[in-house]
Amino acid sequence: PCWRVEDFVVAQECTRCSSFQAKTIAECSPTGFIEKISCATSKRDEFKSCRSAVMEAHVFWRFVGTMMCVATIFAVLVVCRQRVLDRKALEKVRKQIESI
């Protein structure tokens, strides 16, 4: 590709590939997004795979939300387990006091 060895200008910003483009343009495969670039020296127009900032932000916030849910679940489990252990300890102390 000319964009690896030459200077280039982005002719069309990063956009999602249409279903037709996904089948016909190989650069759509890695990310599902492409940008059209114009190479300066050879004057050729080519497509380049790219990553969408909106998509990256969406994936990031989905990850953050998932991690918050997992953290909340484990925090609730820790609290429940601590209550069970406290109850068992109190029961043990009560039995020891009764046996005296």
- pLDDT tens-digit map of 48-92: 888 877 888 888 999 999 999 999 999 999 999 999 999 999 999
Q: What is the average per-residue pLDDT within 32-48?
A: 83
| Residue found by looking up tokens 């343009």 in the block | 25
Token digits of residue 55: 């998509």
Residue 9, pLDDT above cutoff 90:
no
Helix ranges (DSSP H) in 25-52: 28-31
Helix then strand then coil, % of the chain, to nearest 5: 60, 20, 20
Token digits of residue 83: 């209550």
Q: Would you say 57 and 77 are in contact if contact means Cβ atoms under 8 Å apart? A: no
Query: Which pLDDT does position 60 carry in this prediction?
Result: 94
Phi, psi of 51 (to 5 degrees): -115, 130
Query: Which pLDDT does position 3 carry in this prediction?
Result: 73
Q: Does domain 2-51 have CATH number 3.60.15.10?
A: no
